[in-house]
Amino acid sequence: AQSVTQLGSHVSVSEGALVLLRCNYSSSVPPYLFWYVQYPNQGLQLLLKYTTGATLVKGINGFEAEFKKSETSFHLTKPSAHMSDAAEYFCAVSSTGRRALTFGSGTRLQVQP
């Protein structure tokens, strides 16, 4: 069985501040990990993914995440928030090769001017 916990359903930061969105996973086998972003009335867009190899993963729009096996975490960060980053962010895990993703409940990021 696999699961994802996203700590904090809402996160508010100031424009230019560090963004940190937390994700912890549970998986009985080495996981595949993903971060997706969802803008209002839209589908999900892949930000970044960890499959194998380097544990620090860089994605689009300046986001990155680090896979920490010992902490079962895959937190998403961005050094400097932009107003356009305001959206819902979802962490997801898959422990199989068949692509069924288990999503967390999401974190809504608000960026204050």
Cβ nearer to other proteins, comparing 73 with 94: 94
Neighbours of 92 (CB within 10 A): 23
- Quote the least distance from Cβ 99 to other proteins, whole Å: 6
Answer for which of 8, 10, 15, 42 binds other proteins (CB under 8 A) is 42
Pattern 22-41, other proteins, x by CB under 8 A: ----------x-x-x----x
Note the Cα 78 to chain centre separation in Å: 11
* 109 three-class SS: strand
